[in-house]
Amino acid sequence: MERRDLLRAAASAAALAFVPRNAAALWARAAAGPRPTNGLTDAQLKLVGAIADTILPRTDIPSATDVGVPAFVDVMYAENLEDAERAGAAAGLEAIDATAKSAAGAAFVDLTEEQRHAVLDKIEDGARDADPAKTYWQLKGLVVHGYFTSAPVMKNVLKTQVMPGRFDGAVPVTIKRVPAATGGHAHG
C-alpha cells in the first residue's frame, strides 16, 4: 500500500477526532489573510512548511504547502492555543530544529529531502510524551487534518462534493394523467 493511500484511509478517522471541529471556518480565516498577530513567527512558519511538505510532498497531487497547510496551522495555533500552549509549541518546534542540527548539522529547512526524512524518523522513534516528539506528533495530526480538509484536496484529489446534492433549476417534469376509467381520482 502506498503511503498516500494509507494517509487517505486514515485521514477520515483522524479528521473526526482532531480539533478543531470546524475546519472550514479555519480555512476561511487562513485564506482571508492577514496572518494572525499571535501565531507563528516567519521562521516557525517556514519550519512548519518544511515539515508539512516532508510528511505530504508534491507528487501527482499537491503538497501540503501547495494547499496552504502552514497558514491553516498558523490560524489554528493563534486561535485555539492558550499563551502557555503556544510557548510550548514554539519550544517544541525549536526542539525539532535542534534535533535536525544535531543529527544532520543544519537547520531542518536547509536539509535535503532524505535528511529531513531521517530526522523525522528519528523523532518518530522517540518517546511521544516529550519534545521534540510531542510537538511533532501534534503537528503531524494537524497537518494531515488540514491537508484533507482543504478545498483543493477535497475537490480535486478526494473528489468530495463540499456541498452535497445539487440544484437543477430547469429539470423537465413529466405530468402523469390519470385514466378516465378511475373516475379521475389519483391515489398515491
Tens-digit pLDDT profile for residues 137-184: 999 999 999 999 888 888 888 877 655 566 566 667 777 887 776 555
Give the span between the Cα atoms of 53 and 112, in whole angstroms: 12
How many helices and strands (H and E) does the chain possess?
Answer: 8, 0
Least confident residue range of 13-17, 64-68, 106-110, 152-156: 13-17
Q: Determine the pLDDT at residue 8.
A: 46
pTM for the complete prediction? 0.73
The neighbour count for residue 144, using CB atoms within 10 Å, is: 22
Domain range summary for the chain, segments of one domain joined by +? 3-182
- What does the pLDDT read at residue 167? 59
> Could you give the percent of the chain with pLDDT greater than 70?
78
- The one-letter amino acid code at 163 reads M
- As given in the structure block, the three cell numbers for residue 188 are 398515491
The string of DSSP letters for 77-118 reads HHHHS-HHHHHHHHHHHHHHHHHHHHHHSS-GGGS-HHHHHH
